[in-house]
Amino acid sequence: MTQLPPRLSRTLLGHYHEMMAAYHRSAAHKLPGGKGVIREDAVANFIGTWLSKRNRPHTNVFASAIGGEQLGPELDLVVLDEFDGVAWPIDAGAVNAVVTWEQIRVVVEVKSTLTEHTLNKACEAMNEVAAFAERNGDPVPTRLLFAYQIDPDLKDDLLYQFEEQGSDSYPFDAFVILQCGVFCSSELNDLRWGFASGLAPEKVANDGPYQDKAALEFGEQTRFARGFRSMGDGSHEETLMALACIVTNAVTDGKSTQALLSALKRVEYFPIS
């Protein structure tokens, strides 16, 4: 696997420590809900670093469709296309907001510690998102689950299920678990295969070596369904880079992915001496 350039690697490691600092600092918050807000905001701040001004992350939102139908669950984090979409704060601290459903490009469930219970709750919420999109005739936004930590009792079972069950067994396009790495559904296979060498999905489709790799991987999976597969090497730096790549690819429909991956994965930038 191609390693990240040292300068980018250090930057991403810095982002990781910033996020973990927010995680540990929020543990002292006197209100349980306050912990979640701080931790969700830390994820939103990281995601926002990699997006244009057109697309902005919002936390703790309620979604409303053009026809007036309301999505039931509160969403931890969304990325909203603000050229056409609108977000209205509904309290003095701007903790919660109402956003226009049709302009949501990414939905992220944020968990402090992923347990069997919180995983089931997240799946319920994402199933409602998919059903809401179907009722309104809209495409389903890219759905991610982000977890700072994972319960040791769940970790081995979940990683086994990623391998042995089809990726449609969970209503997510990818899991981002800081302790383990990023695991993508088969919908993101081309993005996952090309990530290591800085190739966007459309480039992977025409790249012989990666098509051979895809065929080999598919052959190895013939005895079981196509499950979630790891993206990156599992390090903190590659995990966050993969998250940035998935979100950017989703909000730009892949138009900027090749340029950014080529620049960040293949080139080292040196400061002016």
pLDDT digits 0-9 by tens, 32-41: 678 889 999 9
Strands 104-114 and 142-150, bridge-based pairing: parallel
Closest alpha carbon to 129 in 148, 115, 144 = 144
Query: Considering the chain, what percentage of its residues have pLDDT values greater than 90?
Result: 59
pLDDT at 113: 96
pLDDT at position 219, please? 61
Residue 196 confidence (pLDDT): 78
pLDDT at residue 145 in the model: 99
Residues with Cβ < 8 Å from 99, sequence gap 6 or more? 58, 61, 62, 63, 64, 78, 80, 85, 86, 87, 88
Rounded to the nearest angstrom, the gap between the alpha carbon of residue 91 and the centroid of all alpha carbons in its chain is: 27
In the predicted structure, residue 273 carries a pLDDT above the cut 70: no
CA 166 to chain centre: 19
> What's the alpha-carbon Rg for the chain, to the nearest Å?
19
Query: H/E element holding 164?
Result: helix 152-164
**pTM for this model (two decimals):** 0.90
Each residue's pLDDT tens digit, 72-97? 999 999 999 999 999 998 876 667 89
The structural domains of the chain, with segments of one domain joined by +, span 6-31+39-51+108-266
At residue 148, the pLDDT reads 97
Which pLDDT score is estimated for 214? 64
Per-residue pLDDT tens over the stretch 211-234: 666 666 666 555 555 789 999 899
pLDDT for the residue 255: 81
User: For residue 174, is pLDDT > 80?
Assistant: yes
Confidence of residue 168 (pLDDT cuts 50, 70, 90): confident
Average pLDDT, the chain: 88
Q: Which residue has the higher pLDDT, 218 or 67?
A: 67
